[in-house]
Structures are given as structure tokens and as C-alpha cells.
Amino acid sequence: MVAAKPKYPILYIDDEENNLISFKSTFRREYNIHVATSGQQGLEIMEQNEIHLVITDQRMAEMTGVEFLGKVMFLYPDCMRMIMTGFSDMDAIIQAINKGNIYRYIAKPWNREELKITIDSAFEVYNLKSQNKHLIEDLKEANLNLEQKVKERTRQIEQQSRNITDSIHYASRIQTALMLPSEELDRLLPSHFILNKPKDIVSGDYYWVSHKDNRIIVAVADCTGHGVPGAFMSIMGINLLNEIVSKTGTLRANEVLNELRDHLIKSLGQTGHRYEAKDGMEMALCVVDMESKQLQFSGAFRPMYLLRKEELIETKGDRMPIGIYNEEEVSFTNKEIQIQDNDVFYLFTDGYVDQIGGPNKKTFKSRNFKKLLKDIYQRPLKEQKAILEKEHKTWRSDMEQIDDIMIMGVKLSFS
């Protein structure tokens, strides 16, 4: 069934009763007609009804058509305005057109077909203006989530933007609170640094440090996405790691990753469907036994770099994430390394090496990162962090930071 064409509302004003009757009888089937005998009566009708088009005679006793349409323009700027006039009133009509008071003028006596074409044309313009207005409103609403890119806002939008930003800052405080406090970190890892540079206020990269008996567990992870979605994933990862380690008897690095993967898949309800979102995380995790001087490493895509006597030893992670994976689920690999006094190991996400910059606007690359670490690993840890920050800033220059950055350096000392 075809929907009936809407009958647009028209207000017609003329102080001659016969003209009102003629207009209404001519167009009542096509439009919803309201009539008035004066400008004042017309304003009262517009106060009580939604009018899309006003047509008025110019010569009326109390208020001319131009005067009436001037009031309408001020009170109802979206309403289309037309005026009927004879040749003798042309100067006044031209002035009204120049001021933007009217859309069209209609010469008397009017012809039905010509007038209908003009009326329909006015409604087409009205609809286009209305659609454009709605489109602008929709675009403004869509831009609420792009607060840093919006330059001009209304007071209401500015308030909403502040509320959103405050919430994200609060989420950042929650994320930071879940990580080990700096005092506890200094106690467990007397010589370390953490370079944490989120792309947004909150980050999808996180570090996690815990201890059990004489072993210290250190992890750096990169969650799917960055900003708020990545932060939610990081909070889930931290909570799951705390639960796993507290319940585990014998700590093995790969078993921690295996359990984390199982818990994460279950928490996200992942089934392996081909169109399902592959949310998850990459991670490098070490279990350091300070008594036996043994380090266990297991990685999900992420490696570990160990610097010893000017040699960089790379221990690669398995090429699978913590999360659902296309291939058959297999255990992560556990790699054991006998550590020596003054060894320095680094766990990191890919944000640093993937940063675009330099003279040719290319990524920093792993080989440059390795060379940089070999050059600085013997320096104090705080100085290493400062050098890494400075190098990143120089390389990036005026380019945008493309991803979250997390680097953790730990020096092992047994003396």
C-alpha cells in the first residue's frame, strides 16, 4: 500500500473574504490550508499551528504583507514566505526580496497551475533546508565522540565533552591503581624503568609485576585496540593474572599464558567463528627465580631482549596471541635462561618500533631499537628511560603517535 502524500500546511492571508474562499477551494485537496484576514490574525494562527509556507497579500489595512513577512522572518525563520502583489507595489516587493524577507512574489491575478508550481517549489526548498538542518544536527551528535577534533561546541556539547573526558581520566586512574605501586615495584625490582606513553588518555598497553615465594613475575602486554577499549582489556588482563598466580602452585611462565588464554576466551565468549572479533592481547612474561638465578620466558608474539656483556640475546615468543586463534590450540613454549649478575632484560610492545618518523617518514624498526639498547644498557636505568623518550620524540618529530608505547627495563643484581 503506497503511503499518502503529506498535505503541507499553508497560511494564506488576504483582507478580502472572496480571495480567501477562492484560494482555499482551489488548493484544499493538495494542501492543509489555514486562512486569515489580517497580519495579526495570521500571527495568532502561526502561534498555534506549525506552518511551512505563508502567502500574503501586500495591500492590507492594518499591516502590509511586507511588514507581516518581516515579523514572520524574525519569529519563524524556517518558514517559507511568499507575497501577492500588483504592479504598483513592485518597489516595496523588490526591497523585501533584497532583504531576504520573501522567497517569491506572485503577480495578481494568479494562475492556478503557475501558483501550484511555485508552491511546490517552495516546499522542495523547505524540505531541503529541513534535511540539511537535521544532517547538521546528526553530524554534531556524531562528533561528540571526537572531542579533541571538535573546535567549536555549544555550551551543552562542551559540558558533555567534559563529562566524557572526566570519565576517561577516572578510568585511567583505575587502570593505574591496578598496577603495582611504585614503592612496591622499587622493593621487588630495585633497578628498573617503565616507559609508558599512551596514545590516548588511557592505554591498551600495560605492565604487570607480582611475586610469589622467591620468584618475581614480570609481564608487558599489548591489548587489541588502544584508548578506552584497550584499557578495558588491560583491566581484565591484570585481574586474570592476579587470580591465576594466586591459585597456581608451581609457577611456569608458559602455563600462566595458557591459563590466561583459557580465561580470556571464556570471559569474551569467543567461539572461533570466522566473523567473530579476534580480541585478545600480545604478551611477554618472565618468571625470575632470584635464588636459583633462573629466568623463565614465555611470549605471545612478543620477544624478550637480554643484554649481557655487550651482547643482545633475543628470545622470541610464540607466533600466536592470548585469545582465540585460527589454528588448533597448542601450549605456549617455556624457555629457561640462566641469568648472570648485571644482566638487563627488556620487555616491550610494538608501539616504539612501529612509530613513523625520521627523514623518510618510515617506521623506527627493530634493528634501530636493538642498536639503541646496546648503546645504552650499561647506563643507569632512569637515564636509559630518558634517552628512549628523547629518541622517540626526535624520531617522531611532527608526526602523530600511532600506537601506545610500553617498554620495561630490569637490571638483575645479586650482590
Alpha-carbon separation of residue 198 from 201, 206, 405 (angstroms)? 6, 10, 6
Q: Which CATH architecture has domain 172-411?
A: 4-Layer Sandwich (3.60)
DSSP string for residues in 341-386:
TT-EEEEE-STTTT-EETTTTEE--HHHHHHHHHHHTTS-HHHHHH
User: Strand locations in 235-377, DSSP E?
Assistant: 280-289, 294-300, 304-308, 311-315, 322-323, 335-338, 344-348, 356-357, 362-363
- Give Cβ neighbours of residue 22 (< 8 Å, ≥ 6 apart): none
Count Cβ atoms below 10 Å from residue 401 Cβ, excluding itself.
18
Task: Express as a percent the part of the chain with pLDDT over 90.
Answer: 47
Distance CA 188, CA 408 (A): 14
pTM for the whole structure: 0.60
| In the chain, domain spans | 9-143, 172-411
Q: Pairing relation of β-strands 294-300 and 335-338?
A: antiparallel
Q: pLDDT (tens digit, 9 = 90+) per residue, 215-246?
A: 999 999 998 865 666 677 888 888 899 899 98
Q: Output the pLDDT for position 250.
A: 75
Closest by CA position to 206, among listed 179, 229, 188: 179
Q: Coil, strand or helix: which one is 292?
A: coil
Residue 123: band (very low, low, confident or very high) from pLDDT cuts 50, 70, 90: confident
pLDDT of residue 109 exceeding 90, the answer is: no
Distance CA 367, CA 407 (A): 16
What is the number of residues in the chain?
415
Buried-exposed string 187-199: b where 16+ CB fall within 10 A, e elsewhere: ebbeebbbbbbbb
Based on C-alpha coordinates, what's the Rg of the chain? 36
H-helix or E-strand containing 150? none
> Is the fold of 9-143 the same as that of 172-411?
no
Q: pLDDT (tens digit, 9 = 90+) per residue, 91-108?
A: 777 777 766 578 888 888
Contact 7, 30 (CB under 8 A): yes
What is residue 301's DSSP assignment? B
Fold of 9-143: Rossmann fold (3.40.50)
Beta bridge partners of 346: 305, 409
Count Cβ atoms below 10 Å from residue 93 Cβ, excluding itself.
22
Residue 158: band (very low, low, confident or very high) from pLDDT cuts 50, 70, 90: low
Q: Output the pLDDT for position 41.
A: 93
Q: Output the pLDDT for position 299.
A: 97
- Give Cβ neighbours of residue 263 (< 8 Å, ≥ 6 apart): 240, 243, 244
Residue 296: band (very low, low, confident or very high) from pLDDT cuts 50, 70, 90: very high
How much is the average pLDDT of 268-273? 75
Q: Coil, strand or helix: which one is 12?
A: strand
Alpha-carbon separation of residue 389 from 193, 306, 386 (angstroms)? 12, 20, 5
Per the model's pLDDT, the better-predicted residue between 176 and 266 turns out to be 266
